[in-house]
Structure formats: C-alpha cells, structure tokens
Structure 1
Amino acid sequence: MVCWKLVRDRIGEELSGREGVLVYRVSGEQLEALLRVKIVEEAIELAESGDVGEAVDLVEALLEWLRLKGHGLEYVLRSAEEKRRVRGGFSGGYVVVWPDRDSC
C-alpha cells in the first residue's frame, strides 16, 4: 500500500532525504486539488476528535486554498456575514429530519 498526503512545509523539509520516504513538491492545479483533500481530511479529524488543534489545521489548509483561488479571509468573512444576514447562522441549533429521504 502507498500512503501519500499533503503535509506542512517544515514536515516535508524534515522528511526530505530520509530513507524510505519520497518527498516532492507540487504547485498549481495539483496543489489546489491536494488542499481540497487536506481540508476534508482535517474536517473529518475535527469531527471525530473535537480537538481545537484540528480546527487550526483546517483553517490553515483553507486559508492556503483561498489564497490559491485569489481570495482571502476577509472575503470569506464578508460572504459569511451576508449569508448569515439572509439565511441566519447556526447558533439556534435547528435540526431538520426528513423521514422519507435516504440522504440529505
């Protein structure tokens, strides 16, 4: 089995040259795709552990993805505020159940 994943820069630098490990760098579309995978990975780890450290990793990956897409945190915060104004936030704790659906 082969294990590959996007890692933080310093981890890649530390592992570079070690026996049994191949480290290479990607950019552009490859990096953008791997960042999307990393965002999902970190979101799953956050959901499973509830650890704030996983939220930090999630935000870091998301910020880099946004940078590649030409956006910043300010854009996301403005967009979130507008969406919250129009549709509300999540602080109310509403849960909807559709008994006749197989998936959401």
Structure 2
Amino acid sequence: MKSISVKELAAMGQDAAIVDVREDDEYADVRVAGTKSIPLSRFAQSLAEVPASGTVYVMCAAGGRSAQAAAYLEDQGYDAVNVAGGINEWQLDGLPVVRR
C-alpha cells in the first residue's frame, strides 16, 4: 500500500481528493477543509461515495483506520494512498483545519 506524509499531501493543494474515515463526531470536531467524510464503520456500504477516478488520499486520526480503508480500496481497484499520521500529524505540523 502506498503512503504519503501530511506535508506532501498539503503541498498538493485543494485538488487532492481526500476521504476522511473517522466517525462523524470526530470529523465534526476537526477536519481538513474539502475532505469527504465516509466513516470506516459504514465504508463498504458507502463505496459509491468515493471519487471514482484519480488518486484517493485516505485520512483518519493517526493512520490505522485509513490504512485499512486504503487497502480495501486497492482491492476494489482504486488508486488509494494512506495519509500517514492522519489529522493528528496534520495539526502537529500546524497545517490548517476547520473546527466545529
């Protein structure tokens, strides 16, 4: 499975298709602007919500859940990349977030 750092992802700008697999309450508290929320708890049932073309960058809190989702997407034929460190690392690096 491919992986990317939060700094590398941030450098891509708004064009990167980011899917956040944290649960709704986590996503509501803090998120990266422009991300699509598809919680891991209903990820398989919500596959139609994942962007169908291009690379999909998968994010969670620290990288564990997103690794599971990215592996699942790869099995389904998607070009998926895990975001190492997730939103926690994103915030530690001082990158911009949206808060509730």
Shorter chain as denominator, the TM-score bin is under 0.3
Structure of greater Rg:
1
Q: RCO (CA 8 Å, sep 6+): is it higher in 1 or 2?
A: 2
Bigger helix share: 1
Superposition TM-score, scaled by structure 2 size: 0.26
Superposition TM-score, scaled by structure 1 size: 0.26
